[in-house]
Chains A and B, each alone.
Chain A
Amino acid sequence: MDRRRFLASAGLAGASIVAGCGSLQEQSTQSPPLVEDRPKATYYPTHAEGMETLGTGEAGDYRVGLTYSYPHRFWTVTGTTTEQVTIQDADSVHLMASVWDPETTMVLPVQSGVSITIDADGETVADKQPWPMASQNMGFHYGDNYQLDGEGVYEITVRVDGMTERRLGGFAGRFGDAGEWATNFEFSRSARDNIAYTEYPDQRGSRAALELMDMEMLPTSQVPAPEALPGELLGTGRGSDEVYAATWLTGADFLESGQSYLAVSVRTPYNRVPLPMMSLDSTVEVGGETVYDDALSAAVHPDIGYHYGAVVEATGDPAVTVETVGPSQVSRHEGYETAFLGTPTLNF
């Protein structure tokens, strides 16, 4: 006897009776067909779904917010290839966790990851590490589709592990430890099915992006415009639609005399959402001499945001080459899955 499948089919029957024609159910378990000939770049998706906030709270040094929406299709990334994750019949919701610094409200991509455990009646219903993900209207978050055991009250626990990324400036010494936060969620299909859902038959597939949502209790994940980055802006460049901005800092509080800091901030076009989990190499020449030739490390700084950087044992006017060894490995919501997959080399 397969209880979960039984519940799923009972749920379907229930919903179609309530909805009369089953349109709500269709909306929540299906998405419109993908655009044909998707551009190899950011594009306007077929549809957008709103979301509901389940709560926010402190988790150690972090602040965490949890939101949900309809189950989504999305794409995981390994190397330079994507793999579409389709919606399963048993999927109930798409859960999204955001993690940020309560002081600066900067959204923090944490490579060590987030785990979400869902319990009901003393039993674990789901325990997964959701995918680090980028979406046009929500930015960077951790998300996945979850299969609940019917309507009712669930306890959701979000655990954020300690950051291993380099933490600079005001972030030094913070976010090294794991934090945990829990909230209750009363799941009902009718509440879920009241979440906004909009299709874009005219704009879909065009070279554009949805705007970031105003999420009330949650900050949006944006890195500064290139000209707002601290230090001397060395330039910007376009890769496989993602925007690279390189800046050169001297005299920052985390540097010693004779040192400079190269920061490369990679973000989406339109919305400036950071693209974490890339592998970048860099060569820096000052006065015709190679002063750095190695990998860049993921780092966060209150004024730079998430970026890839290196302390360089030189000062002066740099000539910088940035080689993309591996593109951003974050999973993608629709409209981002064909972009940011290249391995460009840029010179600044």
Chain B
Amino acid sequence: MSDRGISRRDFAKSAVAIGGASALAACLDRFGSPDVPSGTDPTTLPARQHAWDGGLPTDDAGNRRLGRHHVLLLLNYERDGTPTSGDRQQVTDALESLERAYAWQANGLQFTLGYSPAYFERFESGPTGVDLPDPAALAPFEEPEFDTPDATCHLASDHEQVVLAAEEALKGNRESVNDTEMRDSFDGIFSEADRRTGFVGAGLPAENQDVDGIPDSEPVPEDAPLFMGFNSGFDGNQASEDRVTVESGPFAGGTTQHLSRIRLQLQQWYEQDSRKQRVSKMFCPAHADEDRVEGVGENLGTDSGIDECAEDVVENSRTEGVAGHAQKVARARDENDTPVILRRDFDSTDGGEARVHFLSLQRSIADFVATKSMMNGTDVADESAVGQRVNNGILQYMRVERRGNYLLPPRDLRALPPADPA
């Protein structure tokens, strides 16, 4: 028999990745209870669930940065048929308890609750005024499976203890959090279909790099916010919260969320590609030629400097033999030359494997599809020497495993909304 044994996934796992009361207890035991500002009267919070920016700190360059630890709960509504007002009240009480317990900021807790096309099937029609398609494969070379839970809850905080405690409280396993009583929980309302976790921010990817998909040489830079080793999600390359907000209809003030689960395979990236190749693939060949990216890219400021990249990606790729990821994606802009998706993605070690939970917000799922289509670079592959994945941005290093679409209603409709609240 082989000399293989227990997989590496059994060696190192963060508390958030493990989850549950014992992980929380171990975390509190080891690191203590962080000093977290308490929350406020929920009626004073923004009307948009996705209004997180006001509670996010900025980095040295001035980019907003997300909370460092994340939990995604994929949930099924336990009742057949349409929701009852009692169920809605229970969900509302649970969420408002968290809002009273923790300040609405990265140093406290931020969260959203969204609903899938599968959820809206119980009504006669989809959500009024919002196009919420079933998830689909978005590239000729991907074969994702589709997430079809009814709902998804995204919890984010700078503190592992906070996301774990909030999760336990929602599941009905804690009577209070941050010295605040939980008036109710999701118990009996939602069951867990899947649990996904992760992190983003300087230091965390390097700390968590002992997973399949990342070579053993520990190549992830200490200060990298993501496994691929570069800053990402620069403010200048993000849509604003306004730009991603549904403008009219009963769900005005809401947004749509696309969530994909992407497996990373970074052996070639770190052991075969040179740094110059990595810069050209992540940003663009001109950035690599001009040595414009220092370290993880902290010198870039608040955008990826994409104006300095060749604008005609196809023509540039024909001579350079490589197309940059940022260079390709930058082509997805609206009539005001603004990006149309707001990334809130993070990396993951779920299952002992390196992944990205790519979570993005946009006014319409079509905005995501358009952006992803630019990232695919199928036009680049068709018309240049760049392959469909080889040398085509970072496509060679990732495989999309799952996709799901959700509506994040405005806060006053976040508890089991009807399809037509009017």
Say whether B320 contacts A79, CB under 8 Å.
Answer: yes
Which residues of A lie under 8 Å from residue B320 when comparing CB positions? 78-79, 326
Asked if A45 is an interface residue, CB under 8 A from chain B, the answer is no
Say whether A76 contacts B277, CB under 8 Å.
Answer: yes
Per-residue interface assignment for chain B, residues 350 to 381, with 1 indicating a CB less than 8 Å from any chain A CB and 0 otherwise: 00010000000000000000000000001001
Say whether B3 contacts A325, CB under 8 Å.
Answer: no
**Residues on B close to A: CB < 8 A?**
1-8, 11, 140-141, 143, 210, 212, 215-216, 263, 265, 267-268, 271-274, 276-277, 280, 285, 318-322, 353, 378, 381-391, 396, 399
Say whether A131 contacts B390, CB under 8 Å.
Answer: yes
Specify the chain A residue showing the minimal Cβ separation from B212.
A124
Q: Given A1-B11, A111-B388, A132-B390, A78–B280 Cβ distance below 8 Å?
A: yes
16 additional A-B pairs beyond A10-B3, A76-B272, A149-B2, beta carbons within 8 Å, are A76-B277, A83-B273, A83-B277, A85-B272, A88-B271, A113-B387, A124-B212, A131-B390, A161-B388, A277-B385, A297-B383, A326-B319, A326-B385, A329-B386, A329-B387, A329-B390
Say whether A113 contacts B389, CB under 8 Å.
Answer: yes
Which residues of B lie under 8 Å from residue A7 when comparing CB positions? 3
Q: Given A127-B263, A129-B396, A279–B4 Cβ distance below 8 Å?
A: no
How far does the alpha carbon of A104 sit from the alpha carbon of B144 in the complex, in Å?
33
Instruction: Identify which of B210, B271, B274, B321 gathers the most chain A CB atoms within 10 Å of its CB.
Output: B321
Say whether B277 contacts A152, CB under 8 Å.
Answer: no
Distance between B287 CB and nearest chain A CB, rounded to angstroms? 13
Say whether B321 contacts A78, CB under 8 Å.
Answer: yes
Which residues of A lie under 8 Å from residue B274 when comparing CB positions? 83
Say whether A77 contacts B265, CB under 8 Å.
Answer: no
Asked if A314 is an interface residue, CB under 8 A from chain B, the answer is no
Which residues of A lie under 8 Å from residue B388 when comparing CB positions? 111-113, 161, 164
For the complex of A and B, 10 pairs with smallest distance between CB atoms: A152-B2, A279-B318, A112-B388, A79-B321, A150-B3, A329-B385, A277-B385, A85-B272, A279-B385, A329-B321
Distance between B80 CB and nearest chain A CB, rounded to angstroms? 35
Which residues of B lie under 8 Å from residue A115 when comparing CB positions? 399
Specify the chain B residue showing the minimal Cβ separation from A1.
B11
**Residues on A close to B: CB < 8 A?**
1-5, 7, 10, 76-80, 83, 85, 88, 90, 111-113, 115, 120-121, 123-129, 131-132, 144, 147, 149-153, 161-162, 164, 178, 277-279, 295, 297, 325-329
Say whether B4 contacts A112, CB under 8 Å.
Answer: no
Distance between A3 CB and nearest chain B CB, rounded to angstroms? 5
Which residues of B lie under 8 Å from residue A164 when comparing CB positions? 140, 378, 381-382, 388
Say whether A144 contacts B319, CB under 8 Å.
Answer: no
Which residues of A lie under 8 Å from residue B215 when comparing CB positions? 88, 90, 147
Q: Given A1-B11, A153-B2, A279-B384, A127–B265 Cβ distance below 8 Å?
A: yes
Q: Given A83-B274, A90-B216, A164-B381, A325–B319 Cβ distance below 8 Å?
A: yes
Taking a contact as CB atoms closer than 8 A, the residue among B5, B7, B8, B319 that contacts A79 in the complex is B319
Say whether A328 contacts B4, CB under 8 Å.
Answer: no
Say whether A79 contacts B285, CB under 8 Å.
Answer: yes
Which residues of A lie under 8 Å from residue B399 when comparing CB positions? 115, 127
How far does the alpha carbon of A112 sit from the alpha carbon of B140 in the complex, in Å?
9
Which residues of B lie under 8 Å from residue A5 when comparing CB positions? 216
Which residues of A lie under 8 Å from residue B319 when comparing CB positions? 79, 279, 325-326
How far does the alpha carbon of A124 sit from the alpha carbon of B2 in the complex, in Å?
15
Taking a contact as CB atoms closer than 8 A, the residue among B1, B4, B268 that contacts A144 in the complex is B268
How far does the alpha carbon of A10 sit from the alpha carbon of B140 in the complex, in Å?
42
Specify the chain B residue showing the minimal Cβ separation from A77.
B321
Which residues of A lie under 8 Å from residue B268 when comparing CB positions? 128, 144
Which residues of B lie under 8 Å from residue A111 when comparing CB positions? 381, 387-388
Q: Given A83-B277, A164-B381, A164-B382, A277–B387 Cβ distance below 8 Å?
A: yes
How far does the alpha carbon of A19 sit from the alpha carbon of B402 in the complex, in Å?
47
Specify the chain A residue showing the minimal Cβ separation from B399.
A127
How far does the alpha carbon of A22 sit from the alpha carbon of B141 in the complex, in Å?
43
How far does the alpha carbon of A265 sit from the alpha carbon of B4 in the complex, in Å?
48
Taking a contact as CB atoms closer than 8 A, the residue among B2, B11, B210, B265 that contacts A120 in the complex is B2
Specify the chain A residue showing the minimal Cβ separation from B271.
A88
Distance between B272 CB and nearest chain A CB, rounded to angstroms? 4
Which residues of A lie under 8 Å from residue B276 when comparing CB positions? 83
Which residues of A lie under 8 Å from residue B5 when comparing CB positions? 3
Which residues of B lie under 8 Å from residue A88 when comparing CB positions? 215, 271
Which residues of A lie under 8 Å from residue B140 when comparing CB positions? 112, 161-162, 164
How far does the alpha carbon of A124 sit from the alpha carbon of B263 in the complex, in Å?
11
Say whether B390 contacts A113, CB under 8 Å.
Answer: yes
Distance between A329 CB and nearest chain B CB, rounded to angstroms? 4
